[in-house]
Amino acid sequence: MSQITFQLRQLVQRMWFLPAAFSLIAVLSIAIAWFLARFAPETLPFTMPSNGVMSILTILASSLLTVAVFALSTMVSALSSASASTSPRAMPLITGDRSAQTSISVFIGAFLFSIVGIIGLSAGLYSEAGRLFLFVVTLGVVVLVVTALIRWIGQISAIGRVGQTIDRVEKATCDALAMVTDPPNFDCQLQLVAPQGSPLFADSVGYVQHVDASELQRLAQENQLTIAITARPGAYVAPNRPLMRIEGVVPEKLVEELVGAFVVGDSRTFYSDPRFGLVVLSEIASKALSPGINDAGTAIDVIGTLVRVLVDRQPIEPPAASRHALVSAPPLDPRDLIEDAFRPIARDGAASIEVVLRLLAGLNTLAFASPALKQPALAMARDAAARARQALTAESDLKTLEAAAAFAEEG
């Protein structure tokens, strides 16, 4: 079920999914109106002339195509702007924005509803009762379109903006951290020593996007195996980097099932890969610090976001008894989390005293708030201070730096 849930989630987030779903609903509503008319009484309180419904549908069809094209062009412009000012890796979060997809889907679905309705009326498929039902459904579609237009006006002012993109990446990262910490470590045993056993490799080279620990547990129970996962989501697997190591006899026909519990793709995803979210946030800060943009404020905003994400969701060690007792997995390394989040900012912001001070303050907060992150945070603070000493030239900046970095040496 975990594998199916992951695939369905990936499908639903596709840009085309909601427009296709709304278009299908639009066609079905036309068919349902025709079908229900068969059960309507012979005498109706009032009738609806064919040209009355036709005129409304014609207005919708002629206007909504233009509106849908405008909405899609706005979306493309927002994606281009966000990619240039933040990070291309954040684009799936914008294209997967459910509110924007819903508005565009309403426009496309209502357009298709109008076209199919006009065809049905022109062909004389609807009786008096059918036209009445179609008119009622059309009024509902008009209400949906007006609501979607009002919502879209509010969305286009924010979609693709740097602040909104940062917020979306933050939420995706928090969701991924929640997924891998509750239950912790995929509810598997914690790997305390280097795993032993025969290695199994992926059929293709790429990034691990999902691990179905429940399926691995089932296969381990049925075949008396002990499985050690060596590639968490986000890991790059190749002929020299195995997915897992197996202790026990593995029949040839079982290898495909074991490897099939891993989803390997061309790129990393935010789903169950919190390190990727930290990398993307750090990329946004690094781009803001580039000479072409020179936006220290965005970098400072990202530092605050990173600190908030790591403080709210700290690494949790799994309990002694895990649900997947025959499967072990390596824990998230606190050092990796800190380096993914802050090393690029320490490198690219070393010449900006404002960024360095905010970075050191954030690392000080993490060292104080999280025992698991304390030593990696202190080490990163020392590294950031060393980079800043080489990049800063003003004596006043260097004095301020030494005062701010004193906690790292004392810790």
Buried b vs exposed e over 327-340: b needs ≥16 C-beta within 10 Å? Answer: bbbbbbebeebbbb
> Which three-class secondary structure state does DSSP give residue 134?
helix
> Long-range pairs for 344-348 at CB < 8 Å and ≥24 separation?
344/282, 344/283, 344/285, 344/286, 345/282, 345/285, 345/286, 345/289, 345/299, 345/302, 345/303, 346/380, 346/383, 346/384, 346/387, 346/388, 347/286, 347/387, 348/285, 348/286, 348/289, 348/290
Return the pLDDT at 45: 60
Return the pLDDT at 163: 86
Return the pLDDT at 51: 73
d(CA 336, CA 29): 52
Return the pLDDT at 130: 72
The residues with which 328 forms a beta bridge, in sequence order, are: 189, 228
Return the pLDDT at 37: 62
CB–CB of 116/123 below 8 Å?
Answer: no
| Low-confidence spans in the chain with pLDDT less than 70 | 1-4, 6-7, 9-16, 18, 33-34, 36-50, 96, 126, 160, 313-321, 411
Phi, psi of 237 (to 5 degrees): -105, 145
Return the pLDDT at 123: 73
Q: Would the pTM count as exceeding 0.85?
A: no
- Record: fold of 183-265: Aldehyde Oxidoreductase; domain 3 (3.90.1170)
d(CA 28, CA 33): 9
Return the pLDDT at 244: 93
Return the pLDDT at 190: 83
Return the pLDDT at 337: 94
d(CA 56, CA 76): 30
